[in-house]
Amino acid sequence: MEPISLPEPGIPAGNSSSVAQEKFHVLLGVTGSVAALKLPLLVAELLKIPALWKGRSDPVLHIELRRWADLMVVAPLDANTLAKVANGICDNLLTCVIRAWDLSKPLLFCPAMNTAMWEHPITARHVEQLKAFGYTEIPCVVKKLVCGDEGRGAMAEVWAIVERVKKILEERDVPRQS
């Protein structure tokens, strides 16, 4: 893969070259949910979207990441991080990026947790708070969970997440490359 050139730390993204501005950047946030096991498949499928990815680079600070990304996908979003984001807690890189997120850019979140956690009344309040911020939920699904329980709480299927990303690309007229 060819590396993406990111703006140097401390240099606003708006001062980068016009070539860099033509690219569409997706920032993928991952939490501690067991559904993170699907991350390699999700990344592999997202990498297949033309013109979306050219490569990876070393991590940068949360403000540079927020400036760099055109879209953020948090998949999976576990109950712990959901609660943190809903309440404004930013004690790690992911929650700091979300807290600094430019609300004019889309942020998709994919809840994933045990059914008992999903059905707790506080979860619905947390999800509604994220929606009130303008973030878009890709709802969890019913299936047999890794813990053996069956019910709602599993992260949305990878294809559903990828389709939502493609829809956003189309809505924003991101050029398709072959």
> DSSP secondary-structure letter at 169?
H
Six-digit token string for 157: 């299927």
The number of C-alpha atoms within 13 Å of 13 and in the hemisphere containing its C-beta is: 20
Q: Is the separation of the CB atoms in 4 and 57 below 8 Å?
A: yes
Q: Using only the alpha carbons of the chain, give its radius of gyration.
A: 16
Question: Does the annotation count 147 as an active-site position?
Answer: yes
86 closest CA partner among 31, 126, 121, 120: 126
Q: How far apart (Å, rounded) are the C-alpha atoms in residues 39 and 35?
A: 8
Six-digit token string for 5: 């050139």
Q: Which candidate in 90, 96, 110, 147 is catalytic?
A: 147
CA distances from 109 to 3, 42, 54, 115 (A): 26, 14, 23, 17
Six-digit token string for 88: 């404004």
Catalytic residues: 147
